[in-house]
Amino acid sequence: MTRLHVNIDHIATLRQARGVNYPDPVFGVPVVEMAGASGITVHLREDRRHICDRDVELIRATVSTVMNLEMAASRDIIDVAKRIRPHMCTLVPEKREERTTEGGLRVADDPARMADVVAELKDAGMRVSLFVDPDEREIDASLRAGAQTVELHTGDYCEASSDEARALELEKLAHCARFAHQLGLDVAAGHGLHYHNVGPVARISQIHELNIGHAIIARAVFAGLDAAVRQMLDAMGKK
Ligand code: PXP
pLDDT tens-digit series, residues 37-62: 999 999 999 999 999 999 999 999 99
Q: Across-strand partners of 7?
A: 41
Range of the domain at 195: 3-235
pLDDT at 96: 67
Q: State yes or no: pLDDT of 36 exceeds 80.
A: yes
The residues lining ligand 1, judged by C-beta closer than 6 Å to any ligand atom, are 7, 9, 43, 70, 90, 92, 100-101, 131, 151, 190-193, 211-215
pLDDT at 205: 97
* Catalytically active residues, by annotation: 43, 70, 191
CATH code for the domain in which residue 41 is found: 3.20.20.70
11, 13, 14, 41: residue to mutate for ligand 1 pocket, most atoms within 8 A of CB: 41
Query: pTM here?
Result: 0.96
Cα–Cα distance for residue pair 9/215, rounded to 1 Å: 12
Residue 217 CA to residue 214 CA, distance in Å, equals 5
Of ligand 1's atoms, which has the minimum distance to the CA of residue 10?
A: 14
Average pLDDT across the chain, whole number: 96
Residue 120: per-residue pLDDT: 98
Q: What are phi and psi of 149, to 5 degrees?
A: -135, 150
Phi, psi of 221 (to 5 degrees): -60, -40
Signed CA dihedral, 14, 17, 22, 27: sign only? positive
In contact, 218 and 180? CB cutoff 8 Å: no
Number of domains in the chain: 1
Give the Cα-Cα-Cα angle 199, 230, 29 (nearest 5 degrees). 115
**Cα 176 to middle of ligand 1, angstroms:** 19
